[in-house]
Each structure stands twice: as structure tokens, then as C-alpha cells.
Chain A
């Protein structure tokens, strides 16, 4: 047990703190979703600050941060939600690499904005890889720390740092993505089973304000408050089921927006159920997926219709943000 000391003990687990990296692609056809950080940019930024590869495993803490007691010296960085970190009770800066000494306790203040904070530790969290990833898929009890969220008393190992941490460096605000405020817009491409709802409902879906429902997690985000959707009448196809929102069970794209019964849209996220029998009106574009991971319950959002060209332009903008991050860290 040469490296037995390089670990932290979970004093308090927070609400649902999981080990996540950039995910486990390639098994969706067997029902295993990609998993990984809901806000990928935030995890990548935290990893780069501590000198890790982009895909090193960190912690994702939602709404309420954990309390972690380190048994070895470490360098950490916290990004994502505005949930100020504290070392032995003394507040530390966000989006900044700072040193933790053996015996110190890392805790968090109350959440001020956003939903998910990311904790990167130089060397990365050392749990076994499953199918090429350390991400936790809690629904299937797979990956991460024993396939589940952290609990008090867990001893979590971290690796030996191979890169150079950027101690004291802070990522400027114009490179970060601002935490979603009121007036948040999720851009979505209509499609999939869009033709199943009436022209009027196609209009109201994008006009109405929706609020994040309490049922919002890594599998999907539910929204409520907009007008119910009306369906184009049909003879139910064999195998689809009698409800007008049913289809013959199909795959669900990441980001797809299903509306069971036509009432409350659900946007599937990194731990998506891979398929099922509800129609979908379209898909949130890849550039806006990180943003969903930072939405809090009751937060108002609107969906905005966008075409493929717009989606690809938004994708390029996100790439540019990543490039600016690289340039900043390369020059600072």
C-alpha cells in the first residue's frame, strides 16, 4: 500500500456527489449511456488548472457540496456552479488551482448560482476504469466509486500528478460560461416526432416559458408550466400504444425532448435512458447541453428553435471557448 496515503475521506457526502470524467461512449446500443460530467467544459477547465488531462476523473457535486478530509498534500480546483470552496473553513477562490495540505478539510459554502460544482485533483481520482471510463452510472450500479454516489466514510484514492498544476491561476470570467440567469434559452432543433403535434402546439412549445421541475437529475431534466401540446389525430400504429404520445419504443438521442402525455417536456442528459415509448419533439443542440447541467429547479427557461446551420455555428463557438481557455493557460 505504497500510495495508501494519497486519498481523501468523505466526511459528509453532499447531496449526490459522484466521480465523473468525460464519459463512456460506445455502449448506448446496449442501454449503457455515456455518463460523465453534465457540464463538460467546467470539468475540463478544472482538470487543466491542476495539470491533468482533460479526461481525468473528478467529482461532480450537485446543489450541496461534500466535506472531504485529505490524507496527503494535493492541488485542487473547483469550477462550475458558484459554490465557494473552503479550506479548514477559510474561503478559497473558484476557477483557481490551490494547494491542500495533508490533514486539511475541503468544504463548500451555499450554492449561489448554477447547480453543479466540479472538483479536480492533481493526479485525478483513482477508481477502476470500466469500459474505458471512471464515470459513475448510478442507475446501473456501474463505474465510479462502487457504482454509486459517495457516502460518509468512503476513502477515495487519487493518483500521482504527471502534469504541472497552475497554482494560483484563475480562469477569467469571460472564458467561463456564466451561470444561467432568468431568461435562459435552450436552443433545440425540431424533428424526430415533431409532426405528431398540431401547428398551434408547435408554436406554443417555443413561445411558452417553462420552469425546471424538481425531477431534474443526471438522467434528464423535466420542465413544467407551458401549455399542454395537442396531437394530430391518428389510428395508433401496431405496437405503439393507445396514448397519442406513445410510439413503438425507439432510441432516444442525448438532448432529445420527450413529452409524455403532451404535458411536461423531459430533456435527456448524460445518464439518459437509451430508449422508450414516448414521442420526442426535437433535440437540444450539443452546445447547450452543459448549460442544462447548471440549471436549478424552478428556474425559468424558453426553448428556441434553431436549424442545423445554427447548431453547427453554436458548436464552433463552444470550441472557440475551449481554445481561449487553452490560449489563456498556455500564456499565463
Chain B
């Protein structure tokens, strides 16, 4: 893992923890950003963790850029040796896979897709070696996901699945981005999943839709008072639901009664690496228990 530091103009320092994605790089980035936040350095105005990198925004009138750069580098060794354990939450997200709304949208933009004759799910299942869409959905929903970054637009989680690299799902983005994506589409591009927090343009493959809002610009929903549901480091379980459950959940959401299922968990990267499936089973138990 080779970590690289660069100034992003006179107000940002950009740190690429690693060129490639891995849970190790994500954890190192998270450890460094947590330690930097706790250090309370004067002049730092924002700390933004990303998948395998992070960014610090600062005021060069308060702290000299070179001095801040040296201080940030000083956090690297400790982050490498830090215990890779975090206290976090697991959140269940109901997903209606193969739903009519993303289906209508993907049909509308078929000429922008690698494989206009298949649906996004059929294409993703095939190129990842799954015999059927059903078995692909089983893999997608079978193991939990880390929220490895929140961004692009307000409240949008990027997710990375908690499985060995050989089992990671990978799909290219659309050849040309769509100009429309339904709000709350569960999408996929590269090795990352995402949930579109708002309706808009997008290039990720579309697998389904969740009835559970994750961003509320007015802060009116009880669990979205501070507007955003997800934070980097959260864990998500995608739970397949059918049309009937989707409609019923949507009713609860609209009546303002819906509460997401959330449990506190501890995640240890070493424990995960030693036994991915056993560790995942324990995470999911926390939700079901």
C-alpha cells in the first residue's frame, strides 16, 4: 500500500491511501481521518473520508500548508499499526430487486448500455459468472456492505461488499451516462454499489429500488432530522422484498411511521479476514436478534 499526498490548490490536501480498493485501504483511511479529527488541528475546516483516500480542507491563513502536510503525514504510521476495529451500526435496507421503475428507466436508455438486449441485472449476473438473476441477487443481498464513502450528491452512500476479492461483483458503468435515474435506485459501478439519494443523472447499473428514504432536505422524517442517514463506516444489509412488502413499506414511509432497522455492532478487520462468512453471520444476527 503506497500512500500519496498532494495539495488540491491552496485549500485542500488530498491523500490517496492506495491506488486500488481494498478493505485495508478503507480502514487505513478511516483510521487516519478519525485520528486527524480527534487531534482538533486549528485551521482544518472539513475532513472527507473516501473509499481508499481522503481529503482535508483547510484555511491557509490559519495554518501553513507545508506545516499541515507534515502533520498529516505524521498520522500515517499510527494508522497502519492501529487496531482495525470500529464500533459502528448495521442498517437494514429493504430492496425491491428487478422493480418496474428502474426497469422502465433502463429500457428507456438501452442504447447507452453495453448490452442493449439484456437488462442491467441479466448483464451483471452473466459477466460475474452467475447462472441466473436469482443467484446474482442472492450474492448481492447475501453478504453485508461497508459504506466506504458518502458523496457525489447529498447523502449518497458508496458501498463495498464484505467478501473476499475473488467474490467481489464488478460491472462497468453505462457507456454514456443516463440523464435520469429514479430516486432510491440501488445501483452498481466498478466494484462499488450505491443508493441514489436524489433523482438525476447516473451511470451505474440499476438493480432495484428501496422504499426507505436516506436523505431528507427538509429534515422532517424522524430518523432523518439531520438530513442524512449514512456515515462512512456504516454497514448495510440489503434485504430482498417483493412488491407487496414494497407497497406496504412505502405506506408506512408516507405516513411518517417508518423506522429503519438499525443495530450497534463492532467490526474487526482481522476477525473478518480470518473468517469472512462467520463474521458476516454475526453482523446479521445483530439485526435479527
Residues of A within 8 Å of B12, CB to CB, are 253-254, 256, 283
**How far, in whole Å, are A304 and B218 apart by their CA atoms in the complex?**
42
> B14 touches which one: A140, A188, A250 (CB < 8 A)?
A250
> What is the CA–CA distance of A31 and B65 in the complex, to the nearest angstrom?
24
Q: How far is the CB of A120 from chain B (nearest CB, A)?
A: 25
Q: Is the pair B9, A240 in contact by a Cβ cutoff of 8 Å?
A: no
Query: A200-208, A307-315, A321-329: which lies at the B interface?
Result: A307-315
Q: Determine whether B265 belongs to the interface, using a CB cutoff of 8 Å to chain A.
A: no
Quick one: given A29-B48, A31-B151, A283-B12, are A248 and B60 in contact (CB under 8 Å)? no
B16, B151, B200, B227: which contacts A274 (Cβ < 8 A)?
A: B151
- Asked if B21 contacts A239 (CB within 8 A), the reply is yes
Determine the chain A residues whose CB is within 8 A of the CB of B53 once the complex forms. Answer: 248, 250-251
Which residues of B (1-32) have their CB < 8 Å from a CB of A? 6-12, 14, 16, 18-22
Q: How far is the CA of A48 from the CA of B151 in the complex (A)?
A: 35
Q: Mind listing 16 A-B residue pairs with CB under 8 Å? A: A25-B46, A29-B47, A29-B49, A31-B153, A142-B217, A142-B227, A191-B14, A237-B19, A238-B21, A238-B165, A241-B172, A254-B11, A273-B151, A273-B152, A283-B7, A311-B9
Stretch of B120-128, B191-199, B245-253, B274-282 with 4 or more beta carbons under 8 angstroms from chain A: B191-199
Contacts of A131 in B (CB 8 A): 227
The 0/1 profile, CB within 8 Å of B marked 1, for residues 235-258 of chain A is 001111110001111110111100
Q: Which residues of A contact B65 (CB under 8 A)?
A: 308, 312
Which A-chain residue is minimally distant from B10 (CB atoms)? A311
Closest 5 A/B residue pairs (Cβ): A239-B21, A253-B8, A283-B9, A237-B20, A274-B151
Q: Are A250 and B9 in contact (CB under 8 A)?
A: no
A235 to chain B, nearest CB (A): 10
Closest to B156 in A: A31
Contact among B10, B151, B200, B231 for A285, CB-based, below 8 A: B10
Looking at the assembled complex, report how far the CB atom of A34 sits from the nearest CB atom of chain B, in whole angstroms: 9
Within 8 Å by CB of B54, from A238, A251, A308, lies A251
Given contacts A29-B150, A255-B9, A311-B9, contact A242 B172 (CB under 8 A): yes
Q: Is B215 an interface residue (CB 8 A)?
A: yes
Taking the complex as formed, is A15 at the interface, i.e. its CB lies under 8 A from any CB of chain B? no
- On chain A, the number of residues with a Cβ less than 8 Å from chain B's Cβ atoms is 54
Which of B152, B156, B190 contacts A241 (CB under 8 A)?
B190
Q: Please state if A30 and B151 are interface contacts (CB–CB under 8 Å).
A: yes
When distances are taken between beta carbons in the complex, the residues of chain B under 8 Å from A238 are 20-22, 165, 191
- With an 8 A cutoff between CB atoms, is B141 at the interface? no
Are B217 and A30 in contact, CB atoms less than 8 angstroms apart? no
B52 beta carbon closer than 8 Å to chain A: yes
Is A225's CB within 8 Å of the partner chain B?
no
Please judge, given known A-B contacts A137-B154, A273-B153, whether A248 and B173 are in contact too, CB under 8 Å. no
A137 CA to B227 CA, complexed, in Å:
13
A214 at the interface (CB under 8 A from B): no
| Complex Cα gap A131–B224 (Å) | 13
Given contacts A25-B45, A248-B21, A251-B55, are A275 and B7 in contact (CB under 8 A)? Answer: no
A141 at the interface (CB under 8 A from B): yes
CB <8 Å contact, B152 and A274:
yes
B174 part of interface (Cβ distance < 8 Å): no
Contact of B153 with A30 in the complex, beta carbons under 8 Å: no
A32-B154 contact in complex given A283-B8, A285-B10, C-beta closer than 8 Å: yes
A249 to B230, CA, bound (A): 17
Q: Which of A111-161 contact B (CB under 8 A)?
A: 130-131, 137, 139-143, 147
Known contacts A29-B47, A239-B21, A308-B10: A251-B151 contact under CB 8 Å: yes
A248→B45 contact, CB < 8 A: no
Q: Which residues of chain A (245-296) have a CB below 8 Å from chain B? A: 246-251, 253-256, 273-277, 280, 282-287
Which of chain B's residues has its CB closest to A287's CB? B10
Partner of A249 from B20, B61, B149, B154 at Cβ < 8 Å? B149
**Cα distance A280–B9 when bound, in Å?**
12
The answer, yes or no, to whether B228 is at the interface (CB within 8 Å) is yes
Report the minimal beta-carbon distance from B58 to chain A, rounded to whole angstroms. 11
Q: Is the CB of A147 within 8 A of B150?
A: no
Q: Is A192 an interface residue, CB under 8 A from the partner?
A: yes
Enumerate chain B residues within 8 angstroms of A308, measured Cβ to Cβ: 7, 10, 65-66
A323 vs B6: C-alpha distance in the bound complex, in angstroms? 31
B 178-222 binary contact with A (CB < 8 Å = 1; else 0): 000000000001111000011010000000000000010101000
Contact between A30 and B8, CB atoms less than 8 A apart: no
B50 in contact (CB, < 8 A): yes
User: In the assembled complex, which residues on chain B have CB atoms less than 8 Å from the CB atom of A248?
Assistant: 18-21, 51-53, 190
A239-B191, A248-B51 known; A140 vs B154 contact (CB < 8 Å): yes
Name the CB-closest residue of A to B194.
A249
CB distance from A18 to the nearest CB of B (A): 14
Q: Chain A: which residue is nearest B60 at the CB level?
A: A312
Q: How distant is the Cα of A52 from the Cα of B249 in the complex, in angstroms?
A: 48
Chain B residues, Cβ within 8 Å of A250: 14, 16, 50-53, 55
